[in-house]
Amino acid sequence: MSLETQTYSSVSGMIVLVKTGDGASLGHLRESLGRSPAEIAAAVGVSERKLLEWENGKGSPTSGQAAKWRLAFCPDVDNRISNYLSTDNPEVLHHFWELA
């Protein structure tokens, strides 16, 4: 597998997790992006303890909390997409999100 294919696979995989990931998957994504539980919990509006419970499969967020959790990762993933595509054009980024 070429480096370009691996990079695309990595970026599109992140998008899939952001769109559909469960607590454990989103926890792994958070760790891989170097984000702390505290900052993601603040973005979602819950305690760090509650976020870590979700990441460990103990309970689950409401649909609104899940949406906030996923949106908290969008800037990080957009950054990776921008680097991969060598552009920060919002239309290009939007289309990449749709296709991945």
Kindly report, residue by residue over 18-55, the tens digit of the pLDDT.
777 788 888 888 888 888 999 999 999 999 999 999 99
pLDDT attached to residue 6: 57
57: which 2 tokens?
């499969």
Q: With 0-12 CB in 10 A as exposed, 13-18 as middle and 19+ as buried, what is 18?
A: buried
pLDDT attached to residue 50: 95
Sign of CA dihedral 16, 18, 22, 27: positive
Distance CA 73, CA 79 (A): 10
pLDDT attached to residue 47: 96
Domains of the chain: 3-99 (1.10.260)
